[in-house]
Amino acid sequence: MGAKASIMLQPSEIEEIQKDTGFSHNQIVRLYSRFTSLDKSNNGYLSREDFLRIPELAINPLGDRIVHAFFMYGNEEGVNFRDFMRTLARFRPVKEGTNEGINSRDEKLKFAFKMYDLDGDDKISREELLAVLHMMVGANISEEQLGNIADRTIEEADQDRDGAIAFSEFKKVLEKVDIEQKMSIRFLS
């Protein structure tokens, strides 16, 4: 109990997380409970291994990329609760008529873009697109078909013809896609 008690959430922390993420008090408390149950080392951080114990992530073909996204704040020792909540907030439904905050359309698109930008150079190359396609479909599609999909995707999205997809091009391609619906999870309703 001592280790857990020392990392209990304070009311002021809950308030700050509410302002930062838009989650309700009850959602934060319940997600904190889930966070602490995943924190096998009881140190207030989740490791990559902790995340991969989540069955839905373990079986997801993009599970490694999703886990990687939780570490985007640059903390390799692990993910603390606040960063955990900031990442989850990107999957909260967008409030009607708003495009601000951590779960805005732009933030959701940036998050999706990072799933494909494997080397973090702010561009999606043909090789990165192929790698992600491999993760998603495995051996169900031939190399030639995957190559054709990657080539066609780059050809359609690459407006400046540099052989890669920049975020602005990615955003343009997805402007008619309901990304808010596709990247929203109902949290502990």
Q: Under a CB-based contact definition with an 8 Å cutoff, are residues 71 and 58 in contact?
A: no
5 pLDDT tier (thresholds 50, 70, 90):
very low
Domains 12-89 and 105-180 share a fold: yes
Supply the mean pLDDT for the chain: 85
Domain ranges in the chain are: 12-89, 105-180
Q: Which fold has domain 105-180?
A: Recoverin; domain 1 (1.10.238)
Give residue-wise pLDDT tens across range 41-85. 888 899 988 988 888 888 888 888 888 888 876 666 799 999 999
Residue 186 has pLDDT above 70, yes or no: no
The CATH architecture of the domain made up of 12-89 is Orthogonal Bundle (1.10)
pLDDT in tens, 148-183: 999 999 999 999 999 999 999 999 999 888 877 777
pLDDT digits (tens, 9 = 90+) for 94-137: 665 555 677 778 888 888 898 899 999 999 999 999 999 998 88
